[in-house]
Structure 1
Amino acid sequence: MRALDAVTAERAEGAVLSVRDLSVRFRLRGGRSVAAVSGAGFDLGAGECLALVGESGCGKSVLASALLGLLPGNAEASGTALLAGPAGEDGVDLLAADEKTLARTVRGRRVGLVPQSPAAHLTPVRTVRSQLEETVRALTGTARRARRKAAEEAAFPAGHLDRYPHELSGGLAQRAATALALIGGAPLLLADEPTTGLDRDLVDRTVDELRRHADDGRALLLITHDLAAAARIADRVAVMYAGRIVEIAPARRFFGPTGPRHPYARGLLDALPDRAFTPIPGMPPELSALPGGCAFAPRCPLATELCADRPAFTTGVACHHPEHPRA
């Protein structure tokens, strides 16, 4: 592993989650394999929200599945993802831990998942109350008081606890799923596209609730293609393209007048309706047919012959031609 600079080393020392060189490959028939995530690295501290953004298919959800140990059988993950332990206890490498460790001590207890599809995550034939109580018993050994506390933390109204998932609105279903994620008191929340299918008002309310939990001291990894949601609550932004993180920047700079430095990240912002409303030309490459060198070069207006070589990730950006801050 490369030596960390002073800022990164300081962040890593107090991080809830430290990811280094995380890569995921899928084995295919005929002996071929596809790299879905390549060399991802970041740190995430308590009370912080890191938004992982990028176009669909860039590898965001694969990265989340790797952290939770939920990759399919034909996947191979490498690197490290160190989840800090409680005071006085060792941390755990999420990529090296076996299924027994992940199931008994990590999922729900140390990592809470807020899923993309809460309706599918909830059991359709059981009420919200019964699902909360079952999860409470499994994680804490108690029931009523912890169930009530989880529902209150997720702002889930008590009057809807005896409803079934199909009787809930999209926003209430998301709150129910969030309540389940909060029961074990996990220090890390992983929200994988939690606003999919919600209207703008519900998006704002959902991410505001997630931000509140970060403000209470949890670390929050928000995986989203919704840049407006990221701008609303993120402290930092990590941009992913073709399986690789190409920029990590403070949200204030990323969404502010200065803007991001990677041409792809600038293209994402310029495609928004309240900005230039200009789409990035071309299409993302297939992960099974990545170009040599910089994967964004075929779509990049700044590409030169230097881009035939893969750029290193330095000073927060992986680009041979990082743009200077805007005036």
Structure 2
Amino acid sequence: MLSVRDLTVRFRLRGGRSVAAVSDASFDLAPRECLALVGESGCGKSVLASALLGLLPANAEARGTARLAGAAGTASPDAPARPALDLLAADERTLARTVRGRLVGLVPQSPAAHLTPVRTVRSQLEETVRALTDTPRRERRAAAEAAAERAAFPAGHLDRYPHELSGGLAQRAATALALIGDAPLLLADEPTTGLDRELVDRTADELRRHTDTGKAVLLITHDLAAARRVADRVAVMYAGRIVETTPAARFFDGPGPRHPYARGLLDALPEREFTPIPGLPPELSNLPEGCAFAPRCPRVSAACAVRPEPRSQVACHHPHGEPGDPDRA
């Protein structure tokens, strides 16, 4: 469905300087698959999603490739497949008219910024139904209400304006809007923010149903419980780089992740060791020469002065599970 190679996003700063928020990110996403992209705040997860949809600010530039496989037209499953499209090379007209909402849906991290403040939730849902589907006019109201139900948005709040919604309700409204186009690829950027655990589980289950119909989901989240419920694979991001990609079963229930940072994320959970990772993530404008995690890593050695290249889907000089490792499972 999606093949990303060497995606790098740099922001130009005053004085001619620039800083890389995402560096050389590569991953694949297949139909019927959910890939969870996890990591601490500020590691570059949301910047990556914005790059895929052409939503970066004017002072940003992206390079690499992000090829979206050809997909049948949204109006009919029998429509001919489109050719593969490089999202990073597409112009704004193509992104606005062909990609956003139709081929790639977005659940935004900040839903309030994506909801029109002067229109009710119902009217925005119905307008999205009209724009993205061939639903007859007399059926649009029902289609909008069905989308709201899928996102667990209460019917009694459909005629409210965005400023009358709590953060959790705004998040569910944004999720409902993203689901309407039934896009082959869904980018869900922190879709469970502000939700209680019951609604988190319901949102995760809806994302799972989305993949079960043959579509793909890129779930960007810091909520590992939600990721465990829905993900097929987990990609761990640190300081702008993907440091490990592994099956979710291994990450959560099997031998565990191999990168020390990924292992630290799990150990910080309350139901596990509840041990926080020491220190703070580095400033992206002041990264160390070698491994960015080295100052916080219990396995650091002189070898870590050189940046590790990914080997077997993990970028670490001393990953867990190597021969001779006392923690090897």
Task: Identify whether the pair has TM-score above 0.5, normalized to the shorter chain.
Answer: yes
Q: CA deviation at 1:311?
A: 0.8
8 Å Cα contact 2:233-2:248 kept in structure 1: yes
Q: Does 2:304 correspond to 1:319?
A: no
- Range with greater deviation from structure 2 (210-219 or 231-240): 210-219
**Cα deviation code 1:220-268 (max 9, x no counterpart):** 0000111111111111000000000000000010011410000000011
Specify the alignment match of 2:77 in structure 1: none
What is the aligned counterpart of 1:62 among 33, 47, 50?
Answer: 47
8 Å Cα contact 2:126-2:144 kept in structure 1: no
Distance 1:315 1:135 in 2: 43
Paired letter, 1:111: V
Paired letter, 1:193: E
What is the aligned counterpart of 2:232 among 219, 230, 235?
Answer: 235
The aligned runs of 1:1-327 (5 Å cut-off) are: 16-87=1-72, 88-140=81-133, 142=135, 143-146=137-140, 148-149=142-143, 151-155=145-149, 156-168=153-165, 170-324=167-321, 326-327=328-329
SS across alignment from 1:64? helix
Given the two structures, how large is their TM-score scaled by the length of structure 1?
A: 0.90
SS across alignment from 1:318? coil
CA 1:39–1:128: 2 relative to 1, 3 Å: same
Distance 1:186 1:301 in 2: 43
- Range with greater deviation from structure 2 (58-67 or 135-144): 135-144
Given the two structures, how large is their TM-score scaled by the length of structure 2?
A: 0.89
SS across alignment from 1:313? coil
Q: CA deviation at 1:172?
A: 4.1
The runs of at least 4 consecutive aligned structure 1 residues that moved more than 6 Å come to none
8 Å Cα contact 1:150-1:182 kept in structure 2: no
Distance 1:187 1:228 in 2: 25
Paired letter, 2:124: Q
Paired letter, 1:93: D
Q: CA deviation at 1:212?
A: 1.7
- Range with greater deviation from structure 2 (196-205 or 280-289): 196-205
8 Å Cα contact 2:39-2:222 kept in structure 1: yes
Q: How many residues align?
A: 312
Distance 1:153 1:92 in 2: 28
Q: CA deviation at 1:204?
A: 1.8
**Cα deviation code 1:67-116 (max 9, x no counterpart):** 01011111110000001122532111011111111011000110000112
Q: CA deviation at 1:125?
A: 2.3
Q: CA deviation at 1:211?
A: 1.6
Distance 1:280 1:144 in 2: 55
8 Å Cα contact 2:171-2:193 kept in structure 1: no
8 Å Cα contact 1:22-1:79 kept in structure 2: yes
Distance 1:131 1:149 in 2: 12
Distance 1:274 1:53 in 2: 18
Q: CA deviation at 1:218?
A: 1.6
8 Å Cα contact 2:7-2:66 kept in structure 1: yes
Distance 2:248 2:141 in 1: 34
Give identity over the alignment, percent.
80
8 Å Cα contact 2:308-2:315 kept in structure 1: yes
SS across alignment from 1:314? coil
8 Å Cα contact 2:21-2:240 kept in structure 1: yes
Distance 1:168 1:71 in 2: 27
SS across alignment from 2:242? strand
